[in-house]
Amino acid sequence: MSSSPSTLRAHFTLAPDGRWVDGGGVTVRAGRIERFCATAAEVRRGGGPVLDLGDVVLLPGFVAAHTHLDLSGFEGRVPPGRSFPSWIRALLGVRGSLPEADLRRATRATAEQLVAGGTTCVGDIDATGRLAAVARGLRLRVRRYREVLDAGDGRRAGAVLGALASGSRRDPLWTEGISPHAPYTVSAELWAALARHVRRRRTAVAIHWAETREERAWLEHGRGPFADLLASSPRRSGLDAIEAAGLLGPRTALIHGNDATTAERERVARSGAAIVHCPGTHAFFEREPFDAEAWRAAGVPLALGTDSLASNADLDMRREMALFRAGHPGFRPAEVLDLATGAAARAVGLAGRVGTLAAGAWADLAAHAAPGKRASERLDAITRGLGAPLAVWVGGRRTESGPNQDSPASRIGKQTRGAQNEDARRTP
Ligand SMILES: [Zn+2]
């Protein structure tokens, strides 16, 4: 990666404060954004060759705050089922029947598709190490949450945590986190051990919480379909278990939060934890409408994720934004874009480092074509899923898993003028 700067210019650029800038851009050096250029004059002074991207919208890459890329090979194989526990049982049943080589291929292909769709960072739950096994050369930033669970059997807690000591992946695009799977699969002993582990490392945490009403029925009363799947109920709420372990705080992303009481929303708000909503998966299970408005009113940071291909037809963040907008017309397009960029970055503990074009952030960007003349029309189109990423950069490097080379993307980088042409194409 070159340490000499270069500057990208676009018709419209999303400024770090949410304004739209006409004819501005960003200066990139050594994989990071060195400067946001709010005017044409600032672009000229930006540094290094100027790469004119033309009539595009330059955005930070989307951040999918919740994925399970290692489940990509399960696409279309597990129907929603009668209840959530029956879906889990079906998923576990299919798991052993698929060749590992196929699952790895699907994982890599899905990761590349994500990037091609303009997503440059994922908060990914890693239960198997499969993504790490296929990540060589992959230009995708990964907050990798190592999944831990003991199915409520506290005797396994020590071994489960011990396994975390091995298998960390050294890659500048990866940062580690931890994911206690859910209150119904983590024993009291494992919660206690996790509390010590997280306190020592101050690491980012993701926990599936309050996905279904059945979850609460079992956790608090030992009733409902989860009783067929699990041993004895802890007889306390999921949020109580998370809080007792010291894990209800600003470094935690709670995934789903579909079945929350008003009092729980207020507790989550006070804690600083984020809620990650996955519109495609929500639709797959035909859940009752997600109360994004109530979470917003409570002051809880919201973000969008995709969950996995086992419960979603696609992991494209453009589609997630479009689904969200369709279900939540009270959210402005700019807010919806934030749910997939800046807010999602906060949810995965990477605020200021991804999901923004601010100086100091990693240069994870995408240039989108979108219909419309004004910036507001293009924003409207992009958040309705109508944009097309023409080029995607991660850490300042143009990705090859981006759009195919016959697309207009191939022309980006050939629009610079004069002697700057060759340099501009090399860097970033
Ligand atoms: Zn999930």
Ligand 1 centroid distance, CA of 308 (Å): 7
Ligand 1 centroid distance, CA of 206 (Å): 9
Domain co-membership, 157 together with 107 = yes
Q: What is the CA radius of gyration of the chain?
A: 22
Domain-located, residue 256: yes
Domain-located, residue 353: no
pLDDT at 30 over 80: yes
What does the chain come to in residues? Answer: 428
Domain-located, residue 299: yes
What is the per-residue pLDDT across 247-304, written as a single tens digit (0 to 9) for each?
A: 999 999 999 999 999 999 999 999 999 999 999 999 999 999 999 999 999 999 999 9
Ligand 1 centroid distance, CA of 399 (Å): 27
Alpha helices in 245-331 (DSSP H): 262-271, 279-284, 292-298, 317-327
Ligand 1 centroid distance, CA of 123 (Å): 10
Between CA 13 and CA 25 the distance in angstroms is 6
Q: Which strands sit side by side in the sheet containing 50-52, from one edge to the other? A: 32-37, 25-29, 6-9, 50-52
* pLDDT band, residue 425 (cuts 50/70/90): very low
HSE-CB at 329 with a 13 A cutoff on CA atoms is: 0
Tell me the CATH number at 26.
2.30.40.10
Domain co-membership, 170 together with 314 = yes
Give the per-residue pLDDT at 83: 85
38: left (phi over 0), alpha (psi -120 to 50) or beta: alpha
Tell me the CATH number at 178.
3.20.20.140
What is the per-residue pLDDT across 129-183, written as a single tens digit (0 to 9) for each?
A: 999 999 999 999 999 999 999 988 889 988 998 888 887 888 999 999 999 999 9
Domain co-membership, 232 together with 321 = yes
Give the per-residue pLDDT at 267: 98
Ligand 1 centroid distance, CA of 71 (Å): 10
**Which candidate, 167, 162, 96, places its Cα nearest to that of 130?**
167
Ligand 1 centroid distance, CA of 380 (Å): 28
**Which candidate, 197, 185, 117, places its Cα nearest to that of 154?**
185
Give the per-residue pLDDT at 201: 85
Q: What is the mean pLDDT of residues 90-117?
A: 93
Domain co-membership, 56 together with 87 = no
What is the per-residue pLDDT across 56-88, written as a single tens digit (0 to 9) for each?
A: 999 999 999 999 999 999 888 888 888 888 888
Both tokens of 65, joined, read: 């705050």
Give the per-residue pLDDT at 402: 52
Domain co-membership, 69 together with 38 = no
What is the per-residue pLDDT across 212-263, written as a single tens digit (0 to 9) for each?
A: 999 999 999 999 999 988 888 999 999 999 999 999 999 999 999 999 999 9
CA distances in angstroms from 234 to 7, 59, 216, 237, listed in the order given: 56, 45, 11, 8
Domain co-membership, 20 together with 87 = no
Give the per-residue pLDDT at 365: 97
Domain-located, residue 335: yes
Give the per-residue pLDDT at 392: 97
Ligand 1 centroid distance, CA of 356 (Å): 25
- Can you tell me whether residue 422 is helix, strand or coil? helix
Ligand 1 centroid distance, CA of 405 (Å): 33
Ligand 1 centroid distance, CA of 125 (Å): 7
Domain with 305, as residue range(s), is: 62-347
Domain co-membership, 204 together with 277 = yes
Q: Strand pairing partners for 358? A: none
Q: Which residue, 286, 314, 347, sits at the end of a domain?
A: 347
Q: Which residue, 287, 322, 347, sits at the end of a domain?
A: 347
Domain co-membership, 213 together with 129 = yes
Give the per-residue pLDDT at 35: 96
Q: Which residue, 347, 378, 402, sits at the end of a domain?
A: 347
What is the per-residue pLDDT across 326-378, written as a single tens digit (0 to 9) for each?
A: 999 999 999 999 999 999 999 999 999 999 999 999 999 999 999 999 999 99
Domain-located, residue 188: yes
Whole-structure pTM value? 0.93
Give the per-residue pLDDT at 147: 96
Ligand 1 centroid distance, CA of 268 (Å): 19
Both tokens of 191, joined, read: 């919660």
Domain-located, residue 352: no
Give the per-residue pLDDT at 137: 94
- Can you tell me whether residue 302 is helix, strand or coil? strand
Residue pair 244/196 in contact by the 8 Å Cβ criterion = no
Domain co-membership, 176 together with 50 = no
Give the per-residue pLDDT at 403: 52
Q: Domain total for the chain?
A: 2
Ligand 1 centroid distance, CA of 410 (Å): 35
Domain co-membership, 108 together with 233 = yes
Domain co-membership, 119 together with 177 = yes
The per-residue DSSP string of 134-160 comes to H-TT---EEEEEEEE--TT-GGGHHHH
Domain co-membership, 53 together with 69 = no
Ligand 1 centroid distance, CA of 146 (Å): 13
Ligand 1 centroid distance, CA of 372 (Å): 35
Ligand 1 centroid distance, CA of 255 (Å): 7
Give the per-residue pLDDT at 401: 60
The per-residue DSSP string of 168-237 comes to ----TTEEEEEEE--TTTS-HHHHHHHHHHHHHHT-EEEEEES--HHHHHHHHHS-SGGGGTSSS---S-
